[in-house]
Structure 1
Amino acid sequence: MKIYTLRSVQKLPIGPEEAWNFLSVPANLKTITPDYMGFEILSGADRPMYSGQIIQYIVTPVAGIKTKWVTEITHVKEGEYFVDEQRFGPYALWHHKHFIKPIKGGVEMEDIIDYKLPFGIIGQMAHPFLVKPKLKEIFDYRKKKLTDLFGEFKEQNEQDKRVLKKDILN
């Protein structure tokens, strides 16, 4: 039984409240999902996220094959994190943790997904050339889309810090 982990981290130049207000609305998932996925919410996205919420989707991840996906929001700590777990769908296990952490100049968002593929050794063989690249592509798309929506995070470089320090001392 092989369990894989995907981790994605992104910094955005927005406050934690704005990040939470976007990410905790299930309907916004469609906005940050590639169009080719044919993502459609069937039910459960009519209110902000809460523990116990069941959300049903249709996705088309590969070769035009429509797949029903049912997730449950199992944990929510408002403004900080939430967890969704697949109840029915394409994975043998899907456990997705979403964290929002305030940092200087914005927020750091971290996704940690633990997942297991169906079909035993066949699923494991498909992982490196089909599943893993597809998941990376989807999360790279999300990063780009979130940057398009909220702007690019710019860290202060050492030169900027020295100038600011000099200005403060004068």
Structure 2
Amino acid sequence: MLYTLHRKQKLPLSLQEAWDFIANPKNLAVITPPSMGFVTLSGDDRPMFAGQIIHYTVTPMLGIKLQWVTEITHVADKQFFVDEQRYGPYAFWHHKHFLKEIPGGVEMEDIVHYKVPMGILGRLVHPFLVKPKLEEIFAYREKKLTELFGEWKENK
């Protein structure tokens, strides 16, 4: 079964500032909860480009360290990029990051399509293990981005 996670966040940043932040792979560690034990091993030494391979370790639960390798498959400057898992904890992972200039800032949108491993067992644990963990990660990301760049005010 394919699952979808969809998030939007407005931030009081210029399009260039937002792009400079999200297109720098080193910043993924900044917006990932410390509890995830996220460490980049390679591939974060330059701004994002199509074909870039980034290798991480994550410790999502129970102290179990996992390898995760993603490829940046598509990049359109100041518009979007796509990362896809090549090796890691999911059976399938396709994450689209969009940026759109709006009055007074930018709207950041994330659309993740993913499939959990282990067949029926994975589908059984998804609602109380995988989905809540992803929700927690993206809630942390939203909070951290607001801390870093300020709160969106609708009447700008």
Calculate the TM-score normalised by the size of structure 2.
0.99
Higher helix residue share: 1
Write out aligned runs for 1:1-170 (5 A): 2-156=1-155
Aligned to 1:168: none
Aligned length in residues: 156
Secondary structure of 1:30 counterpart = helix
Offset of residue 115 of structure 1? 0.1
Secondary structure of 2:126 counterpart = helix
Percent identity of the aligned residues?
65
The structure 1 segments of at least 4 consecutive aligned residues displaced by more than 2 Å after TM superposition are none
Secondary structure of 2:44 counterpart = coil
Secondary structure of 1:8 counterpart = strand
Secondary structure of 2:146 counterpart = helix
Distance in 2 (alpha carbons) for counterparts of 1:85 and 1:128: 22
Q: Which has the larger radius of gyration?
A: 1
Secondary structure of 2:123 counterpart = helix
Q: Which runs of 5+ in 2 are unaligned?
A: none
Secondary structure of 2:114 counterpart = strand
Offset of residue 29 of structure 1? 0.3
Deviations 1:62-112 (A, max 9, x none): 111000000000000010000000000000000000000001110000000
Secondary structure of 2:27 counterpart = helix
Distance in 2 (alpha carbons) for counterparts of 1:140 and 1:16: 22
Offset of residue 114 of structure 1? 0.1
Offset of residue 13 of structure 1? 0.4
- What RMSD in Å do the two structures reach over aligned CA positions? 0.8
Distance in 2 (alpha carbons) for counterparts of 1:147 and 1:7: 18
Distance in 1 (alpha carbons) for counterparts of 2:139 and 2:62: 20
Amino acid at match of 2:108: M
Distance in 1 (alpha carbons) for counterparts of 2:63 and 2:109: 29
Deviations 1:119-155 (A, max 9, x none): 0000000110000010000000000000000000000
Amino acid at match of 2:127: P
Amino acid at match of 1:86: Q
Distance in 2 (alpha carbons) for counterparts of 1:56 and 1:74: 15
Distance in 1 (alpha carbons) for counterparts of 2:45 and 2:63: 27
Amino acid at match of 2:110: D
